[in-house]
Amino acid sequence: MKIQANHSGTRSIEVSDSHLETIDKYSLLRNLIDSNGIIDEAVLDKLKLNIRSMLSSEAGNDKALLDLCLDVIYNKNMKAFGLHQLVLLYIDWKNKHEFGQEPIAPNASE
């Protein structure tokens, strides 16, 4: 699945089921977004700091977490807009995963 990484749609980031499973396993998106619901660069920085802390602990030995970092979170195209799309994809994946349906990437061109 691809997520759109910018408003114009010229950049995208490939997100796999294993990436989404890793997000779920470590609850990386839980309590990440403030009550205002806005996803900006500060939220992306908060996620990166949380993951950096996890990598320095024993969870850092998890290859799936490292892959998520390299492929998605620290991708050169990842900005606040891309994180917003990742959150939407994760919510869709989580909902449909529970009901056995295929997720649909938001605003993605395949």
Q: What is the pLDDT of residues 19-49, one digit of tens each?
A: 999 999 999 999 999 889 999 999 999 999 9
- Of 108 and 73, the one with more pLDDT: 73
pTM of the model: 0.86
The reported pLDDT for the residue numbered 102 is: 62
**Model confidence at 100: pLDDT above 60:** yes
The reported pLDDT for the residue numbered 101 is: 64
Query: Domain limits of the chain?
Result: 2-98
| Six-digit token string for 37 | 């619901």
Q: Residue holding tokens 């349906």?
A: 101
**Model confidence at 99: pLDDT above 80:** no
Question: Rounded CA gap, 46 and 101, in Å?
Answer: 31
